Structure 1
Amino acid sequence: MITNKSQQKLQLSSTSRIAFRDALSDLPKSIPPDPNNIKISEKEKNLFKTSLTNWICLNIRSINIIEDEGLKSLIDLSIRIGYMHGPVSVSSLFPCRKTITKEIQKIGMAGRDEMKTVLIKAAKERRLSLSPDLWSDGYKQISYLGCVAQWLDDEWNLCSFDLFCLPYRKPNKSAANLIKVIEDGLELFGLKPFMFDIVWVSDRGSNFKKALAKFTVLHCIAHRLNNMLQHTFYQSQMNKVKQDAVFADYYASSMEDEDDYVSDNDTEDDISFSDDEALIDKRIKNRNNFYATSTRNTLNNTITQLPSDAKRVLVTIIQCKDLVKYIKKVRRISAYLYYYCS
């Protein structure tokens, strides 16, 4: 998605915009020139409001959907068609799921081709930067590699575009596997030949550092500051390690979410660890020490073999117990206020 306001015209493919405009122009010209002059009765407004409310509630839609420009455009087109042809059956207009899927793929290909031209031009002129990052879905147990593109247009406006987000299905997160997935994503936009012309922005994870070592790289200062703040204010490390040991799938640490580490299966001997990696090593050592000294290894092995639904129940119980202390604090404060203020 383009985030710069001056570049919002790129949010939709120009091909789809042109097709939509042509479709409107093909309609008969007897449509009133100014629909705002048409007065609608309060009864009709209330009927539409009730129908819209029922749709949102019964189908569990976000209330913000009424502000969606796409929905307004769709309703506007429906009103125009109904004005010209009278009452029309919804089934005669609404396509099936397969048709919509094909149309999404068609518009997606057209939009990708349009963005190829913009991104390749920016890469050739060395004003394109890419920010790849790994993140994990703790529920589905799937990792993803996403990449955001940023560049300056001809009017010096900063533009941003979500380039790709691909499932990471490699056996580990080594530099060799990482660069392969990045190249697969770049192939979608024809950017693979321009990797040396792109400025790369990433965290200081050793796998990213080695994967992008041949290119121009700027390390993200936000990740650095985040690690510094965690190291400074993280006061309950052993408690978190215990939770991770029992429910590793449901207590993913922020370090793991950032993927600022190399997988255990990675055997890269020439990696030079920065302070960030040293901090992560320290946490891993603490976790290993906990495993070595814990007397609940058998219990942990049993819990890890539980079905995911049973794990979620136990995690919910643990989280509820964690909330009890706050309930007690509130009660003490309430009693204190009642005693001194009454």
Structure 2
Amino acid sequence: MTAPLRAKQAITDKCVDFCCQDLRPFSVVSGEGFKSLAQELINIGSTFGRVPVASVLPHYTTVSKVCTEKAEVKRSLLIEQVKKALGSGCDVAMSTDMWTDDYRKMSYIAITCHFTDTDFNLFGKTLTTAVFPAEDAKTGKNIRRELVRLLVNRFGLEPSSLSRIVWVTDRGSNIVKALEPYKRLSCLDHVINTVLRHGLD
């Protein structure tokens, strides 16, 4: 079953209004998440009739709370997979980077992990994005302390297992210094970028 042309035109108009009123990119209507939401709203309408949208859509604080809860569940499952990989003797690759939000003057540190299971299926996930302590300078020592705090204190990895993590990072001096006690490889994309930039300059 397909919707008639006049219905499609009405939806197009509403999509335009949505993007303009809420300052969203036009591409948002092509996203899988938006299409999944729209389909669920259509399903609810076909089941319960013309119900007020306010009785269906949640408050944004509810969305935030549920998002946090779902993220914690997924992160817990991911951590168990990482622990299992490390426990089975497999090396786990991780990457980390930092950046600063110049508007709010807040710095962030992110950790992603990559590993294979016993069937050689590759997993690659963002483990966390955390606020870097504002009172700490971004020295190698402080970065290392924050990485250990996140991996050991927050996520429960064994301190001894950190020696089996292979880090892939850019060649920033503070990141290189932070990971001196561990295995670290330079990101090839960053190396090529540096070579090309200096070569073209």
Compared with structure 1, are the counterparts of its residues 192 and 47 closer, same or farther at alpha carbon in structure 2 (3 Å cutoff)?
same
| Structure 1 position 142, deviation (Å) | 3.0
Compared with structure 1, are the counterparts of its residues 232 and 89 closer, same or farther at alpha carbon in structure 2 (3 Å cutoff)?
same
Match among 109, 125, 150 for residue 114 of structure 2: 150
| Structure 1 position 88, deviation (Å) | 0.7
Q: How many pairs are equivalent?
A: 197
TM-score if structure 1 supplies the norm length? 0.52
Say whether 1:191 aligns with 2:170. Answer: no
Match of 2:137 in 1: 172
Partner amino acid for 1:61?
R
Match among 176, 189, 192 for residue 209 of structure 1: 176
The structure with more radius of gyration: 1
Compared with structure 1, are the counterparts of its residues 95 and 126 closer, same or farther at alpha carbon in structure 2 (3 Å cutoff)?
same
SS of match in other structure, 2:17: helix
| Equivalent-residue separation in structure 2 for 1:203 and 1:44 (angstroms) | 51
Match of 1:84 in 2: 47
| Structure 1 position 107, deviation (Å) | 1.0
Partner amino acid for 1:174?
T
Match among 3, 23, 31 for residue 60 of structure 1: 23
| Equivalent-residue separation in structure 2 for 1:204 and 1:139 (angstroms) | 26
> Is the Cα contact below 8 Å between 2:75 and 2:127 reproduced in 1?
no
Partner amino acid for 2:123?
C
Partner amino acid for 2:165?
I
Match among 63, 68, 74 for residue 100 of structure 1: 63
> Is the Cα contact below 8 Å between 1:126 and 1:198 reproduced in 2?
no
Compared with structure 1, are the counterparts of its residues 43 and 210 closer, same or farther at alpha carbon in structure 2 (3 Å cutoff)?
closer
Match of 2:11 in 1: 48
SS of match in other structure, 2:180: coil
Matches within 5 A, 1:1-342: 38-124=1-87, 125-168=89-132, 169-186=134-151, 187-191=153-157, 193=159, 194-234=161-201
| Equivalent-residue separation in structure 1 for 2:44 and 2:82 (angstroms) | 38
Compared with structure 1, are the counterparts of its residues 46 and 225 closer, same or farther at alpha carbon in structure 2 (3 Å cutoff)?
closer
| Equivalent-residue separation in structure 1 for 2:158 and 2:173 (angstroms) | 22
Partner amino acid for 1:198?
I
TM-score if structure 2 supplies the norm length? 0.84
| Equivalent-residue separation in structure 2 for 1:48 and 1:180 (angstroms) | 52
In structure 2, the gaps of 5 or more residues are: none
- Between Structure 1 and Structure 2, the one with more helix by share is 1
In structure 1, the gaps of 5 or more residues are: 1-37, 235-342
> Is the Cα contact below 8 Å between 1:183 and 1:192 reproduced in 2?
no
| Structure 1 position 44, deviation (Å) | 2.0
Partner amino acid for 1:148?
T
| Equivalent-residue separation in structure 2 for 1:99 and 1:139 (angstroms) | 27
SS of match in other structure, 2:19: helix
Q: Give a deviation string over 1:123-147, Cα, whole Å, max 9, x none.
A: 3332311111222333433332222
| Structure 1 position 225, deviation (Å) | 3.6
> Is the Cα contact below 8 Å between 1:115 and 1:189 reproduced in 2?
no
Percent identity reads 29
| Equivalent-residue separation in structure 2 for 1:224 and 1:43 (angstroms) | 54
**Runs of 4 or more above 4 Å deviation:** none
| Structure 1 position 72, deviation (Å) | 1.7
Partner amino acid for 1:180?
R
